[in-house]
Structure 1
Amino acid sequence: MGKALAVQSARTANAALAGAYGGARAYHSKVPRANLHTTAPKEAQAVDVGTARHQAAPYIQVPKSAIAPREEHLVGPPPKPQPVKFNYDGFYQAELDKKHKDKSYRYFNNINRLAQEFPRAHMANKEERVTVWCSNDYLGMGRNPQVLKSMHETLDMYGAGAGGTRNISGHNQHAVGLEATIAKLHAKEAALVFSSCYVANDATLATLGSKLPNCVILSDSMNHASMIQGIRHSGAKKMVFKHNNVADLEAKLASLPPEVPKIIAFESVYSMCGSIGPIEEICDLAERYGAITFLDEVHAVGMYGPHGAGVAEHLDYEAHVAGRPKGTVMDRIDIITGTLGKAYGCVGGYIAGSAKMVDTIRSLAPGFIFTTSLPPATMAGAKTAIEYQMAYQGDRRLQQLHTRAVKDALNAKDIPVIPNPSHIIPVLVGNAEMAKKASDMLLEDWDIYVQAINYPTVPVGQERLRITPTPGHIREYRDHLVTALDSVWTQLGIKRTSEWAAEGGFIGVGVAGKQEEAPLWTDEQLGLNEVRQEMKAGQGAVGVLEAVLENERKEVASAVAAAA
C-alpha cells in the first residue's frame, strides 16, 4: 500500500511540475479521465493515510531546459493600457433611432421671413414663397419701421456686440434704458434683462430655490420646460399641482408648514393649448399661505392689457387705462417674467419685481453673471418695441380679431380646434406621424408653413398644429388656410370635431355640454361695439376694423417717429 501511494504521489508531482514549467503535457492529458483509478492495483486504492503521511515522495529531478528563463526588466516607461472606448456614435444613433421610431424626430424647415412681405417668407430657394402661420412674432414687430430704425442707428454707432458680460464691459445705457422701460411696463420697482426668457426662468428659480432655506416650489403641471429645468437646478422640493386647478394647489399649500418659503410658479397664457392661468385666485392663495408668486407672461406681453403688459394687466383693464396699478392683480404678483422675442419681435428675456429681489438675482444667478450681454442694437430695438406697444393697441386688437375669424372658419369646417380664450389656435391631430404629414402637405401642396407640435412639447397622443395669426394675416390668407386644412384633413383621414365628439370628446374637443370660455378681449375692448355702427353691407366687423386700425396705426407711427 505504501508503494502504491508513493507511485501516485510521484505521478501527481510530475504532472504539477510539467504544467508549471512548460515541459511535457500534464499526466491527466496522457491518461483518459475514466482510467485514472485503474492504473494501479485495486488494493492500492485503499490508502493508510497515517502511514503515508510519514513517507516522503521520491525526488523528481527537472531538467534545466524545462525551467523558463527569468524575464529581464525592460528599460523605459511601461506600455500604455488600451482602455475599452465607449461607443459614442452608437449611443447617438440609438437615441436618434428612438425619435424616428416614435415619429417625434424634429425636422427644421428653411424658412426666411421677409421683412417687407411678412407673413410671407421664402424657402432655401428665394423664389419659393410661403405664408408663415406659426410665428411667435405675434404682432409683426420684427418688421416694425420704428424698431428697425432704432436698431440700424444703434448698430452703426455702437457696433455688433456688447463686448462682454454685464460685469465686464457689457453694461451700458441700452441695458439701463431697457430695464427701466420694462419696470415701467409692469409697474414694478426694477427689472433685469437676460439673453432669453428660458435663461431668466431657469436662473431665477434655480437661484431662489437653492438660496431660500428649505424652499418648496409649487409648479403647474403644464409649465414650460424652462421653469421645470430651473426647479431641478435649484435642488428645492417640488410639488406639481394639476393644471389651473386651484383646489389642488391649495391642498398642497395647506400641507406645508407656514414658516417654509414657498414659490408658486405658473403661466398666464399656456402656449400649446392657449389656456389662461387663474392669476387672481393664485394670488389669493399665495397671500393666505405665505407664498410668493412667479408668473411667466412670455406669450402674453405685448398681447394683453391696455399697455401690453400681459394678462395680469388685462384683468384690471380699466384701472390700468386710468393709470391706477396699485392694488391690481399685476401689482400683487411678486415676480413677472417675459420675453422680448415674441410679441416684441426682438430677442431676450427679463424678470420684473421688487428692487431687492432683482438685485439678489443680479448678484447671485450664474445664468446672468456669466452670460454675455445682449447687443446694444437688440436692446435698443426691444425698448422701442415696448414703448410702441405701450402707446398703441391697434396691433393686438387686430390680431385678436383675426384669431376669432380663423377659429370661427375652422369650426365651421368641423376642423378640431382645442377651445381656449386666448390668441393661440391649436388644431388637434392626435398622432405624431399624421401631424408631420399634415405639416408637410401644407408646405408642399399649399405653400403654407405650420409646424407640427409633438412630444415632448405636448403629451403623446395630443399632437397638433399650432396656428398663430398676426395683424398681417388678412382675409386672403385666412381663406387659403381654411381651404388647405379642409383638404389635408380629408386626404389624410384625420379626425374631425364630430368624430372626436362621437368618442366622448378629447382635451376639450367635441366634449358635450362644455361651455366655451369667452375670449379674454371683450367686444368692447376690441372696439367692436363702435365698429358695428359703421358696418357696411356685406362687410364683416374684421374688415371694417382693419381699415379703422390702419388709419390709427399710421397716426401713432407718425407720432412715435416725430418723438424719436
Structure 2
Amino acid sequence: MDSIARQSAKLCPFVSRATSSLRNVQTLQQGNISAMAQRCPFMGQAMQKAHLTTSAAAGAAAAAPAAQEASRAAGKDQSSVMADRATQEAKFDYEGLFEQDLQKKRLDKSYRFFNNINRLAKEFPMAHRQQEEDKVTVWCSNDYLALSKNQQVVDVMKRTLDKYGAGAGGTRNIAGHNQHALRLEAEVAALHKKEGALVFSSCFVANDAVISLLGQKLKDLVIFSDELNHASMIVGIKHASTTKHIFKHNDLEHLEELLAMYPKSTPKLIAFESVYSMSGSVADINKICDLAEKYGALTFLDEVHAVGLYGPHGAGVAEHCDFESHRSSGIASPAHQTVMDRVDMITGTLGKSFGTVGGYVAGSLRLIDWLRSYAPGFIFTTSLPPSVMAGAAEAIRYQRSHLDLRQAQQRHTAYVKQGLADLDIPVIPNPSHIVPVLVGNPDLARQASEILMDKHRIYVQAINFPTVARGTERLRITPTPGHTDDLSDILLDAVDDVFNTLQLPRVKDWKRQGGLLGVGQSDYMAEPNLWTEDQLQLSNDDLHPNVREPIIDQLEVSSGIRY
C-alpha cells in the first residue's frame, strides 16, 4: 500500500497538487499519503483492488493445505474442463484441403490415373492388365534394352536371392557392407571410367543427396541449372539452400552470361542432363565443360536416360562424344582426355536400361569418399537387396559387350519416327531415342491414351503438367529392341486412327499456327541423330576383346579408405 501511495504522489495529478506545498513528499506520514491517495478518483480504486487482492492472498495462504487437498480431489474434473475448453474451436479441415487440391487437378485435366500394367517377361513387350487374359503391348516403358527379362540377369538374381535372402538388413552403416555392393560399384566406375562410384536406392535419391550436400558444404556455392532438369535435381537444388540460376534450355550463351556474373574463385556447379526424357533433346556436354573450366565450375551430369543406349559400351552421351576412342580402347581409358573425363560427376540409374532398380554417382576418389562419409541420403537409407545389386552388375556387364542392343533400339526408333512423319503426325524433333508425339491439350492427350488402350490394346501414357509445360502435352513413345517393324506398323495405324478420331492437329495444322517446339516451325534446324550410319554398321566383334568378361578390381573407396 505504501508503495502504491508513493507512486501516486509522483504520477497522479490529484495527489501531486495536494502535496505541492510540502517541502519533501518523503517526509510525510504514511497515513497522510495513503489518505490523500484514497481520495483520488483513480488511485483510490486501484488501492481498493490491491487491498482486496492482498487479503485474498493471505486467506489463500492460510487455507493452502485444504485447497491442495481439494485440488487433488477435483483433478479429474479440472482436466475434463480443460479438454472441453480446448475443443471449443473446430479442428482444421485436412480432408477438405486434400479434396480441394485434387479437384484442381481434375479441373485442369492434370489428374493422373495409373493403369494396372503387368509386364510379362516371357512375352515382352506384352503385359496384362487386371486380368491375365487382358493383354496389351507396352510402348512407353523405360526398360530401354529389355534387360529386366534378360535370362542371364534373371538367373544371377535368382541364385543370389536363394543364397543371401530378400533384403540387405539395413543401411551399410548398420548392417555392413557386402560383396554385391562392392562389385556393382566397381562395374559402375569402370563403365564411366572414373575412380569411384556410390550406389543409392534410386537416382532421385542420388541427385538430391549429391546436389544438396554440395550446397550445404561449399560456402557461397552458386548452382546453374538447365530449365528442363529433372525434378530430382530441382529438389536437390532446393535442399542445397544456396544461390541458384536457371538457364534457358541448352542455351549456352545464357549460361555464360550467368556464369560471368561471379568471380572465378566463387564455387559453382553446372547441373544438366545428357538426354532430356520428355523432349529427347541432348546437351552439348563438351561445350558445357569448356564453360565450366573457363569460369571455375564443377559439372554435374545426369545420364539417366542415356546409359545403356549411347557410347560403344553404354556409358551414355559423354562416352558417345568420343565413340571411336572408347571403342578402340575398350574398358581401358584412351590415351587422351575425353569428354567423359572432363565431367566431374555423373549420375545414372539402374532402373531403366539396366533393368533393375537403384541409382548411382561416379566421380573422383575423394569426391566419392566425401559423399559416402557425409551424404544423409546414402548413410541413412537401407541398402539395395543383394539380388538387385547382383542383377544390376550383371546387366552392366552384359550390355557392355552387346553393341547390337543399342543399334536395334536406334533402328526401331528411326522406323517409328519415319512412319509418324509419313502420316504427318507431329513428333517433337530431337536427335535421340525419345519419340514425343505432340498433342497440346491435357484432356485430348488423356483421351488419346485411353483410345489406344481400349480400342487398340496399346499402352502409351499421356504426359501432362507438371511433367511438361501446359499446352505441350504429349504421348511419349519409347521403342526397344523388342519392338519389331510388325509391331511398329500396328502402332502407326493405331496412332493415325486416334488422330482422326479426336481430330488432333497434325504437322500442317501446327505450321499454320506458327509451330511449337520445332513442330511446324519453318526456321527450325534439325539436329543429326547421335548415332551415325557408320556406327550403326558395327558389330559386337568390332568391340575391343577386353570388354568381354573383364576383370574389374574392387574399389577401395566403397568400404572406406584406410589411412
Question: Paired residue for 1:29?
Answer: none
- Cα deviation, 1:505-544, whole Å, max 9, x if unaligned, reads 11110111423111000001001xx8xxxxxxxxxxxxxx
TM-score (norm 1): 0.81
* 2:226 matches 1:220: yes
CA distance in 2, matches of 1:457, 1:249: 23
Question: Paired residue for 1:175?
Answer: 181
* 2:266 matches 1:257: no
* 2:483 matches 1:473: yes
- Cα deviation, 1:181-231, whole Å, max 9, x if unaligned, reads 100000000000000000000000000111001000000000000000000
* Aligned AA (2:278): M
CA distance in 2, matches of 1:372, 1:445: 43
CA distance in 1, matches of 2:399, 2:269: 30
Q: How does 1:316-355 map to 2 (within 5 A)?
A: 316-323=322-329, 324-325=333-334, 326-355=336-365
* 2:371 matches 1:365: no
Matched position secondary structure for 2:431: coil
- Cα deviation, 1:465-491, whole Å, max 9, x if unaligned, reads 000000000111100000000000011
Of 406, 411, 414, 1:404 maps to 414
Question: Paired residue for 2:250?
Answer: 244
Question: Paired residue for 2:112?
Answer: 106
Radius of gyration: which is bigger? 1
Matched position secondary structure for 1:485: helix
* 2:309 matches 1:303: yes
Offset, 1:257 = 2.0
- Structure 2, gaps ≥5 residues long: 1-40, 42-66, 550-563
* Aligned AA (2:310): Y
Of 450, 453, 462, 1:443 maps to 453
CA distance in 1, matches of 2:505, 2:123: 34
Of 213, 230, 233, 1:207 maps to 213
Query: What's the C-alpha RMSD, in Å, of the aligned pairs?
Result: 1.8
Question: 1:118, 1:472 within 8 Å by CA — same for their partners in 2?
Answer: yes
Question: 1:170, 1:372 within 8 Å by CA — same for their partners in 2?
Answer: no
Offset, 1:171 = 1.7
* 2:396 matches 1:386: yes
Question: Paired residue for 1:126?
Answer: 132
* Aligned AA (1:342): K
Question: Paired residue for 1:147?
Answer: 153
Matched position secondary structure for 1:116: helix
Question: 1:312, 1:329 within 8 Å by CA — same for their partners in 2?
Answer: yes
TM-score (norm 2): 0.81
Question: Paired residue for 1:313?
Answer: 319
- Cα deviation, 1:149-169, whole Å, max 9, x if unaligned, reads 110110010000000101111
* Aligned AA (1:418): I
| Runs of 4+, deviation exceeding 6 Å | none
Question: Paired residue for 2:436?
Answer: 426
CA distance in 2, matches of 1:215, 1:282: 18
After superposing the two structures, state which structure 1 stretch, 283-292 or 251-260, moved more: 251-260
Question: 1:241, 1:249 within 8 Å by CA — same for their partners in 2?
Answer: yes
Offset, 1:170 = 4.4
Offset, 1:106 = 0.3
Matched position secondary structure for 1:227: helix
* Aligned AA (2:399): Q
* 2:511 matches 1:505: no
Of 165, 171, 192, 1:186 maps to 192
Question: 1:341, 1:347 within 8 Å by CA — same for their partners in 2?
Answer: yes
Matched position secondary structure for 2:122: coil
Matched position secondary structure for 2:223: strand
After superposing the two structures, state which structure 1 stretch, 108-117 or 316-325, moved more: 316-325
Matched position secondary structure for 1:517: coil
- Structure 1, gaps ≥5 residues long: 1-52, 54-71, 531-547
Residue-pair matches, total: 466
Question: Paired residue for 1:452?
Answer: 462
After superposing the two structures, state which structure 1 stretch, 438-447 or 515-524, moved more: 515-524
Question: Paired residue for 1:293?
Answer: 299
Question: 1:99, 1:105 within 8 Å by CA — same for their partners in 2?
Answer: yes
Question: Paired residue for 1:534?
Answer: none
Offset, 1:383 = 0.2
CA distance in 2, matches of 1:141, 1:421: 23
* Aligned AA (2:406): R
Question: Paired residue for 1:522?
Answer: 532
Of 85, 93, 113, 2:91 maps to 85
Question: 1:171, 1:373 within 8 Å by CA — same for their partners in 2?
Answer: no
Matched position secondary structure for 1:184: helix
CA distance in 2, matches of 1:124, 1:158: 32
Question: Paired residue for 2:38?
Answer: none
Matched position secondary structure for 2:160: helix
CA distance in 2, matches of 1:211, 1:438: 47
Matched position secondary structure for 1:437: helix
Offset, 1:502 = 1.1
Matched position secondary structure for 1:466: strand
Offset, 1:84 = 2.9
* 2:233 matches 1:233: no
CA distance in 1, matches of 2:237, 2:214: 9
| Percent of residue pairs identical | 58
Question: Paired residue for 2:171?
Answer: 165
Of 137, 146, 167, 2:143 maps to 137
CA distance in 2, matches of 1:409, 1:258: 49
Matched position secondary structure for 1:322: helix
- Cα deviation, 1:357-416, whole Å, max 9, x if unaligned, reads 111111111111100000000000000000111111111100000000000000000100
- Cα deviation, 1:266-321, whole Å, max 9, x if unaligned, reads 00000000000010000000000000100000000000000100000000001101
* Aligned AA (1:179): E
* Aligned AA (1:101): L
Question: 1:139, 1:395 within 8 Å by CA — same for their partners in 2?
Answer: yes
CA distance in 2, matches of 1:371, 1:515: 45
CA distance in 2, matches of 1:322, 1:212: 39
* 2:127 matches 1:117: no
CA distance in 2, matches of 1:199, 1:236: 19
